[in-house]
Amino acid sequence: MERRRRGRGLPRRRTDRIEDAVAVLLCALGVVAMVLAGLVGAAAHGAVSARAFEEAADRSRVLATVTDSSAGPAVTDGVGPGTRRARAIWTAPDGAPRSGVVTVPMSATTGSAVPVWTDRSGTPVPAPTSPRAGLLVGVVAAGWVALAAVLLLLAAWRLVRRWTARRNDAEWTRRWAEVEPEWSGRAPAG
């Protein structure tokens, strides 16, 4: 009577053990990839937040008065949806009067007061980056790294499974060729 060892299940093929080892390795790599994704997201968040902080310290919001609401020059930089370019006057942060072409809402008419962002010299600049942008960039960066890692790990797992399936199929084919003649009755009488 054969005794079974405690804690031992059915016999396992070499390919089963290989799959198990690769699964453990890929899970460990997945954990490392998620930590890496978090670090990339934190770094991206930090970089954008630092830029937002610097821009906020260097830029001022002032009110400009539109002096000519007719279509400004054919310049498209800094013009977004629902805005256009128009001539306006404003007072720079240092108190000096300034004038020029600025981005204004489509509804602005001559004499309208519109907010304009300027640098320390009073030159119009884009609005400072929002601190929320840092969070968004961090989450997106972490998400892309995590997605890429998951796709790579899944591709590696599929390759291992394909390889082990081919090995198992070859082994099954070899063993069947050994026993099939006996089971089918085609074996020579001996």
Q: How many CB atoms lie within 10 A of CB 99?
A: 13
Q: For 88-127, how does the pLDDT look when each residue is reduced to its tens digit (9 = 90+)?
A: 999 988 888 998 888 888 888 888 899 999 988 888 988 8
1 pLDDT higher than 60: no
Q: For 35-66, how does the pLDDT look when each residue is reduced to its tens digit (9 = 90+)?
A: 999 999 999 999 999 999 999 888 989 999 99
The band of 71, judged by pLDDT with boundaries at 50, 70 and 90, is low
Contacts of 28 (CB under 8 A, 6+ apart): none
Question: For the whole model, what pTM was predicted?
Answer: 0.67
Q: For 138-174, how does the pLDDT look when each residue is reduced to its tens digit (9 = 90+)?
A: 999 999 999 999 999 999 999 999 999 999 999 999 9
78 pLDDT higher than 90: no
Across all residues in the chain, what is the average pLDDT? 86
185 pLDDT higher than 90: no
Structure tokens at 36: 């890496």
How distant, in Å, are the alpha carbons of 74, 113, 127, 128, 186 from that of 90? 22, 9, 16, 18, 101
- pLDDT at position 82 is 75
12 pLDDT higher than 60: yes
Angle, alpha carbons 77-82-83 (nearest 5°): 40
